[in-house]
Chains A and B, each alone.
Chain A
């Protein structure tokens, strides 16, 4: 099956810093999503971005489908940004749900 690798696995930053999270995938995809899992386990949809660039406030994401990677940018980090960020993909031609990466555990310190 498709492989999804996220980096870095852990990231500790000071409030106000910027960060870039990366997601590499091993095959063509027709769906790629970024999620933030809060401390209660809820998965919050950040971006549905199988290709191109999107922005939502301090967050933006870019997927380069031909090179099989996606980037999530967080600017001016706040302590509430802490948590685990997951990238998840669905292989091209499949309707079989999402395959998740192992996530990036982000800690924003005040």
Chain B
């Protein structure tokens, strides 16, 4: 199957610092990628849709200034958690459709576990 890779898999940071998470599609190009957040023992919640060459689309209630998304190329999207606080601690997972754009089967990265002290 298609491969989506995330880095880093784990990160621990101090409160007030910023953390960048990378999501790469390794064997296909994607003009659209999706970022999800998962709290312990809960489901995945869509945070935003990353669009190559244009601004990301954020779900209601997600602060765009807190969670900066940049879709720099057809194979890379980044999520930056700015001025992180303990409540931002969570599991962040990206995904991309193998169709490259919008709908179609989605594959997910390995996820990034963020702990803010």
A34 to B27, CA, bound (A): 22
Per-residue B-contact encoding for A22-42, CB less than 8 Å = 1, 0 else:
000000001101010000111
B49 x A97 contact (CB < 8 A): yes
Interface size grouping (class) on chain B? 20 to 34
Minimum C-beta distance from B56 to chain A (A): 12
Interface size grouping (class) on chain A? 20 to 34
> In the complex, what residues of A have CB within 8 A of residue B79's CB?
none
A41 x B111 contact (CB < 8 A): yes
A103 x B108 contact (CB < 8 A): no
A97 x B111 contact (CB < 8 A): no
Q: Does A51 contact B (CB under 8 A)?
A: no
A100 to B46, CA, bound (A): 9
Instruction: Please report B residues at the A interface, Cβ cutoff 8 Å.
Output: 1, 32, 34, 36, 38, 42-46, 49, 91, 93, 95, 101-108, 110-111, 113
Check A98/B101 contact, CB under 8 A, given A41-B113, A42-B111. Answer: no
Q: Choose from A42, A99, A101 the contact partner of B46 (Cβ within 8 Å).
A: A99
Residue of A nearest to B93 (CB): A43
B44 x A100 contact (CB < 8 A): yes
B110 x A42 contact (CB < 8 A): yes
Interface centre among B93, B102, B108 (most CB of A within 10 A): B108
Identify 20 new A-B residue pairs, CB closer than 8 A, beyond the known A40-B111, A45-B108: A31-B103, A33-B106, A41-B91, A42-B111, A43-B108, A45-B107, A86-B43, A88-B106, A94-B103, A95-B103, A96-B46, A97-B34, A97-B46, A97-B95, A97-B106, A98-B34, A98-B95, A99-B46, A100-B43, A100-B44
Check A90/B103 contact, CB under 8 A, given A98-B46, A100-B44. Answer: yes
> In the complex, what residues of A have CB within 8 A of residue B111's CB?
40-43
Q: Choose from B43, B95, B104, B110 the contact partner of A41 (Cβ within 8 Å).
A: B110
Q: Choose from B42, B45, B104 the contact partner of A31 (Cβ within 8 Å).
A: B104
